[in-house]
Structure 1
C-alpha cells in the first residue's frame, strides 16, 4: 500500500474509532477490567483475621514476628491484541472484509486502553509469528498498531493459534488483558489456551462472514482455498457437499466454544454485518 493512502486510512480509522472509545466505552472499559489485577505493595505485622496464605515467611524469619504481604489493585493494565492475519481473514461478502472489521475493533480497544493510561501491545500471526510490538503507551504507538494491522501481509499460509498463544505466554510475563481476534477456522489450541488463561485475562473474539456458515447452491465453481492456495472444482448444488462444508464449519465453531469454556476464558462472536459497538458494549456490561 502506498504511504499516502496508508496514512489516510490510518487517519480515517483514528477519527471513527477514537470517538467511539472515548464517548461510549470509557466507563464500561473501566468497570470490565480495572481492579482485576493485584500487585504487591508492602509488608506489615500480622493481625488477627489476616489470611495466613499472605504471610511473608522470609521477613517473618528475619524479624521473629509474623508479617503479611499487602496487595493493592493494579491501576495500570496491559492490553494485548493477538490478531489472526492468515489469508482467510481477507474474506468478505458484505461491506467489510473480516480483517477490516478486526482492524476497527482493535483500534477501539487500543484507544479505550490508552484513554485509561494503559499500555497496549500487538501480536500478528498466521501459521507463524508475523510481528510483535511490545506494550507501550501513547497515541503514536496506537497509530503504529493501526498501520501494522492495515499494511502487514502474512508470509505464512495457514493458521496456528496455539503457537501464537504460547509465544504470547512466554513473551509477556505481567498479567494482561488479552484479546484474541480470529475466525477460529483451526483447532489444536486447547492446551495453550488453558495455560495462557491461567496467567492472563483472555477474551476470544470470533469474527465471521455470514456466507461462511453455509455454501450457497450456485452450481459448479472453481474455488481456491485461501490458506493453502489450492484450487479445485466444487459442486455447490450437491447437498452432500454443502452438508460436508457445514459440518466442517460447525465443528470448528464447537471446538472454539468448548476450548474457551474449559479454559475459563471469555468469548464472543461478531458477524461482519453486526454493529460491533453494540456487541462490545453488551460484552463489557456482562463482565
Structure 2
C-alpha cells in the first residue's frame, strides 16, 4: 500500500484514505449485499414481443438454445453438436450455429484485489470500488435470471466461484471477495510471480460458449494485456479499468514523500515539466488496454474511485439491455 505525504516544512498531510484488512470487514460485506437494492428488477433483461408469455426471458447473449441466431466460424471449445455441416461443406472450413437462448446464461467476473488495487485517494481504495462493481453486476445478473460466478485474485492466491443461479451465486462471490481480501491483508508471504496468470487461466477454463466475461482491475500487473488476448469469451468480454484520480492528475504543486512501506522517495511536483509527465504511465497503460480491447472486440469502461459504480456501469449494460436502469442511492 502506497502513501503520499507532503514533505516538510509543512506538516505532513496524508492523502490516502486508511485501508487494509479493516477495509473488507463485515460492514463492507453488508454493503455489498445491500447493493441489491440499487438494481431494478430486470436490469439485465431485454423484453420483446414474447415478453408477455409466462417465463419468457431473452438476453443479448447467444449460446445453445431453441431459436437460431447466426452462423460463425468454428472456434476451439465450441460444441460439436452445433456444427453447421451444410455451411461447412460449402465453405470448406468448419462453421458452427449459434442460438438465441431464452434461459439463463453464465456471467463470469474476474476481480483483481492485488497489491496495486490497495490504493485510493478519493472515497475508497480501488479494491473496494472493484468489489462494489462486482457485487452490482452479480445482483443485476440475479435479477435477470442469469448465473453468476468468477475468479477473485488477491495478489497471492485466487478463488474460483462456479456459476450459480439466484442469490446463491451472488452471495458466493461476495464471500470470496471478503475472504480473499482478508487473507491478503493478514499474510506476509510474498506473492508468487505466476499467481495472476494462474487466476486468468482458471477464468479461461471456465468460459463456455454463451458466457459473458467481465474483468475488473487496474491492469497494472505485468502481462495483464497479453493475458486478456488469450481469453476466449463465448459471447462477450468487458473490461472495467479501475483507477484513482491521483494516478492521472497530479496533486497541487509541491514536494511529496512517496512510501510503500518498504521504500520512500521524494517527488517534486513544483515545475511544469514534472507535472506534464506526471500521468504518463497511466496514459500509456490506458492506451495499451484500449488497443487490446479493440483487438479482442471487448467493451472497455473506466471507473474512478470517486465514481458511483452504478452510474458508470450503465455504459456496460445499456447497449445490451436498452431498458436497464438502477435505483437511486
TM norm structure 1: 0.75
Structure 1 spans left out of the alignment, 5+ residues: 43-52, 58-68
Instruction: State the shift of 1:215 in Å.
Output: 3.1
Does the 8 Å CA contact 1:39/1:73 hold for their aligned counterparts?
yes
The one of 160, 165, 181 aligned to 2:200: 165
Deviations 1:182-215 (A, max 9, x none): 1122453444323314545110001111111133
Q: Secondary structure at the match of 2:43?
A: helix
Does the 8 Å CA contact 1:83/1:180 hold for their aligned counterparts?
yes
Instruction: State the shift of 1:284 in Å.
Output: 1.9
The one of 91, 100, 108 aligned to 1:73: 100
Does the 8 Å CA contact 1:222/1:231 hold for their aligned counterparts?
no
Higher RCO by CA contacts (8 Å cutoff, separation 6 or greater)? 2
Residue of structure 2 equivalent to 1:37 = 62
Does the alignment pair 1:19 with 2:37?
yes
Does the 8 Å CA contact 1:260/1:267 hold for their aligned counterparts?
yes
Q: Secondary structure at the match of 2:64?
A: strand
2 CA distance for matches of 1:146 and 1:126?
A: 14
Aligned ranges 1:56-135 → 2 under 5 Å: 72-74=99-101, 75-126=103-154, 129-135=157-163
Residue of structure 1 equivalent to 2:287 = 254
Residue of structure 2 equivalent to 1:204 = 239
Does the 8 Å CA contact 1:28/1:284 hold for their aligned counterparts?
no
Aligned ranges 1:223-238 → 2 under 5 Å: 223-225=258-260, 230-237=262-269
Deviations 1:216-272 (A, max 9, x none): 2554433234xxx54131222354554444221211111111111111111111212
| Structure holding more helix per residue | 1
Are residues 24 and 95 of structure 1, via their aligned partners in 2, closer, same or farther at CA, if it must alter by over 3 Å?
farther
Are residues 277 and 159 of structure 1, via their aligned partners in 2, closer, same or farther at CA, if it must alter by over 3 Å?
farther
TM norm structure 2: 0.67
2 CA distance for matches of 1:209 and 1:92?
A: 6
